[in-house]
Amino acid sequence: MKHQLLWLFALLALCACGGGGSRGSGGVTSTTISTVGVSGVASKGLLGNATVNVYAVTGGVKGVLLGTTTTNATTGEYSVTGLTANTNPIIVEVVTTANTTFCDETKPLKTNGKFDCDAKTGAGTVIRSTLPDLSKTSITHVTPFSEMAVAAAASTGSLTPASLAVGQAAVQESLGFNPMTVKPVNAGESMDANQTKMMTLLSAVMLDAKLNTCSGDASGMKCLIDRLNEGAKLTLNAGAYTAPSMAAVINTPLDNFKKWVDPANTGNLTKVDESTLVSASTARTFVAPQTNAFMAAATTQATTITATTPASVDPAKAITAQGLENFITVMRDGVNSAKDKIDKRMKAGQLRTDAFIGKGTSQSFTLVNLVAKNCDVATSGLTCTSVTTGTADQRINYVKVNNQKYCFYHTLVENGVSYTVSGNFDATKNDSTGVASGKLNATTTTLFTSNGGIPCGANYNKLSELSMVLSGTGLTEGSTSGDFTINTLTFIAYDQATANSLKWAQMVLSGISMSATVGAAPNKLATVTLTAPFAITSSDGDSVTGSLKGTIQDVCKDAASPCTKSSYATKIESSFIETLKEGPIASFDMVVTQAVVGHGQAGYKPWLQNSANNPINGTATMTMRFPDSVTIALTETFTDWNSSNLGVNFSSNGNTLYLTAKGKNKTVGTNEQVLDGDITLTSSGVYNAKMREGSDKKAVGEVFQGTDQIGNLVSGVLYIKKTNGSNGQIISLK
């Protein structure tokens, strides 16, 4: 079977629910949730040592305090855990104290390329963000722009799910991004398009705070927040809300920033009411524009940004959009958190194990082949013949120790450097019973140069070690069953940067067995079973463990006696678990089955073309598990010669998507499948969708809340449907 469609199906589905983005990493929980948490970054620039309080919204006001913490002194990150799941809206409130510091985007960068974060704020400034609920562990970032959304909701007279959704929708439309989901960062960090936009606007309001201060607020932060909140006020008209001053309150500091960074500009910086704040030249004297990579990018970005006056917002539509975006975002946060952990752990693990295992493993298997191919074992004993001609990798010397044992030595050349590989090989076999055993030990050392001697048993600086023990039964001519087992195969590589190092990484294959049964004459059809457990470990605690199992079956392709035989795999099972010192990476399980028959029997004959008269069959299942309970399970089952059923279950952060579809043969005469019709998506929430691949190879389709269509998916972009059926607010899938 070809399972390319299974992966295409999974990727299309994941593109439709989002994979990647700028919300940032955070803790996530398992699908059985008893306690949850909320985390994020607080910034106007990054706020260190600020108090963070998390409240439930009840009765239209900020209610009971759910938890509290302090932002990280350097990164502005916060995390409040151990909270009881809550279906009410949540307010996250960041309060500055006398010890709170903030990063200033307008100052010269530090020598490490980061913002200057030594400035102190005044105590008592409050900046808020919100979540529609806390039913799952979630992320919400706190900036002056998330504060505008909460202030807009409060301006309606009550904090309710509807008013908070309207406030978020208005600010999101005006800015072009959701301020709760875009993570503020430090200078020098990678930024996507929305983060670049966010950081430019934060720089603009930082300048505005410094130039437009008020009494009792030397940092200008509180005055700035008050101005933004005043501009965020909502007006009710015919059941919908507008924010007539929102664009101006954002564009004024943005326009001032553009004048400030332009040394040729001689105009005046203004206030929201268009009165003069200060001349551009005076502003540049008071706060000198910087020439660094961050400011250069912000200067370029500023020319592309203009806040817009949001269209009137229907509260019901806003709640729908917020709920759907939150559902998608919660799942995406789980994926991003898992990805971040995997990336960090893999990078650390690779530094430890790659140099150890990479070359050494292939060298070990090459050595096993070289040693064994020049030896023959029988009841009479073991015979090995030295090879003294050819290239270095072909030559090997044997020294007989006894009737069943030889010492060997061989020169290994790697990158122009010569090493000596030496060891012992002993083997026995009973020609009558077919019972055999063998043992190989080898050590790679620095080059042996002693005159007239041989390195067998010599003690040199070890670079790697190899040991193998094997056994077999039924290894005789005409046997109807047999078994060959590699009892242990261990390869240990040492840290070559340190003489006689105690740091190592090893690969162990233990209990690898291949058994076979042979049927009656004249065809003597065999069934072979392979079992291969393995483990890769290191002295640092890293491990990859797993196994591979397979069944291979002989079948007759014709009626001749004896018949023409071919072998086909009828079952393959594979599994592994990878864990590094830093934590788990992933686990994987796969089972593929297929029934085959021989000539003259009813069923699938794999040497013939798949057709209505010879229908292919089989099932493939794959389950992948990642940190933070992110799981992807894929299935494919052939239902006829040209059709299959497909399914994907994707779980992240307590939410699950269930995707089903049908496949069909891409062309007649091949087993490669493509999608046949829509992908049906249902979820653990109230959302479902119909999706398909568009002409541009991106996902298109319709999104429903229950049976009501609420959105359209166009070229991978999700739009909330307006009352008139047209595409409205964009829900980010990135």
User: What are phi and psi for residue 518, nearest 5 degrees?
Assistant: -120, 130
* Residue ranges in 61-160 assigned as alpha helix (H): 144-154
Give the Cα separation of 646 and 3 in Å (integer): 10
Mean pLDDT calculated for residue range 671-681: 78
pLDDT reading at 439 higher than 50: yes
pLDDT reading at 450 higher than 80: no
Going by their DSSP bridges, the two strands 526-538 and 268-270 should be labelled as unpaired
pLDDT reading at 540 higher than 50: yes
Going by their DSSP bridges, the two strands 138-139 and 35-41 should be labelled as parallel
Lookup result for tokens 């509807």: 162
Is the C-alpha dihedral spanning 591, 592, 598, 600 positive or negative?
positive
Confirm if 93 and 74 have CB atoms less than 8 A apart: no
pLDDT reading at 27 higher than 50: no
Confirm if 267 and 255 have CB atoms less than 8 A apart: no
Task: Report the SS3 class of residue 167.
Answer: helix
Which range (205-219, 343-357, 364-378) has the least confidence?
343-357
**In the structure, what pLDDT confidence band is assigned to residue 722 with cuts at 50, 70 and 90?**
low
Within 10 angstroms of residue 170's Cβ, the number of other Cβ atoms is: 26
Which range (107-121, 123-137, 340-354, 649-663) has the least confidence?
340-354
Within 10 angstroms of residue 569's Cβ, the number of other Cβ atoms is: 16
pLDDT reading at 449 higher than 60: no
Q: Which amino acid is at 92?
A: V
Give the Cα separation of 395 and 386 in Å (integer): 8
Give the Cα separation of 85 and 422 in Å (integer): 63
Using left for φ > 0, alpha for ψ between -120 and 50, and beta otherwise, residue 60 falls in: left
pLDDT reading at 669 higher than 80: no
Report the pLDDT value the prediction gives residue 452, as an integer from 0 to 100. 44
Which range (61-70, 136-145, 587-596, 666-675) has the least confidence?
666-675
User: Apex CA 158: angle with CA 156 and CA 162, to 5°?
Assistant: 80
pLDDT reading at 578 higher than 70: yes
CA 687 to each of CA 287, 512, 580: distance values in angstroms, whole numbers, following the listed order: 50, 48, 37
pLDDT reading at 29 higher than 70: no
Q: Which amino acid is at 630?
A: V
Q: Residues 584-642: pLDDT tens digits?
A: 888 999 999 999 999 999 999 999 988 889 998 999 999 999 887 889 898 989 888 88
Which range (499-513, 589-603, 698-712) has the least confidence?
499-513
Q: How is residue 142 annotated by DSSP?
A: B
Report the pLDDT value the prediction gives residue 137, as an integer from 0 to 100. 86
Q: Residue 535, exposed/middle/buried by CB under 10 A (0-12, 13-18, 19+)?
A: middle
Task: Supply the mean pLDDT for the chain.
Answer: 84
Q: Name, of 29-33, 358-362, 690-694, 702-706, the range with top average pLDDT.
A: 702-706
Tell which wins on pLDDT, 252 or 585: 252
Mean pLDDT calculated for residue range 572-576: 92
The DSSP H or E segment spanning 571 is: strand 565-580
DSSP for 627-650?
Answer: GGGEEEEEEEEEEETTEEEEEEEE
Nearest to 77 by CA among 130, 115, 24: 24
CA 381 to each of CA 119, 368, 422, 487: distance values in angstroms, whole numbers, following the listed order: 83, 19, 21, 21
Q: Residues 158-197: pLDDT tens digits?
A: 999 999 999 999 999 999 999 999 999 999 999 999 999 9
Report the pLDDT value the prediction gives residue 725, as an integer from 0 to 100. 63
Q: Provide the b/e sequence for 11-35 (b: ≥16 CB within 10 Å).
A: ebbbbbbbbebbbbbbbbbeeeeee
**In the structure, what pLDDT confidence band is assigned to residue 514 with cuts at 50, 70 and 90?**
confident
Q: Which amino acid is at 722?
A: K
Within 10 angstroms of residue 362's Cβ, the number of other Cβ atoms is: 10
- For residue 627, whether the previous peptide bond is cis, meaning omega lies within 30 degrees of 0, is no
Sequence-distant (6+) residues with CB within 8 A of 11 are none
Is the C-alpha dihedral spanning 723, 726, 732, 734 positive or negative?
positive
pLDDT reading at 505 higher than 90: no
**In the structure, what pLDDT confidence band is assigned to residue 679 with cuts at 50, 70 and 90?**
confident
Report the pLDDT value the prediction gives residue 8, as an integer from 0 to 100. 43
Is the C-alpha dihedral spanning 722, 726, 729, 732 positive or negative?
positive
**In the structure, what pLDDT confidence band is assigned to residue 537 with cuts at 50, 70 and 90?**
confident
**In the structure, what pLDDT confidence band is assigned to residue 1 with cuts at 50, 70 and 90?**
very low
Which range (19-33, 318-332, 343-357, 479-493) has the least confidence?
19-33
Report the pLDDT value the prediction gives residue 102, as an integer from 0 to 100. 95
In sequence order, the β-bridge partners of residue 624 are 588, 632
Mean pLDDT calculated for residue range 307-311: 92
Of all residues in the chain, the percent with pLDDT exceeding 70 is 86
Confirm if 483 and 513 have CB atoms less than 8 A apart: yes
Within 10 angstroms of residue 427's Cβ, the number of other Cβ atoms is: 22
DSSP for 295-320?
Answer: HHHHHHHHTT----PPPPB-HHHHHH
Q: How is residue 364 annotated by DSSP?
A: H
Which range (50-59, 242-251, 325-334, 526-535) has the least confidence?
325-334
Report the pLDDT value the prediction gives residue 23, as an integer from 0 to 100. 40
Report the pLDDT value the prediction gives residue 359, as an integer from 0 to 100. 53
Report the pLDDT value the prediction gives residue 4, as an integer from 0 to 100. 43
Give the Cα separation of 258 and 280 in Å (integer): 10
Tell which wins on pLDDT, 115 or 676: 115
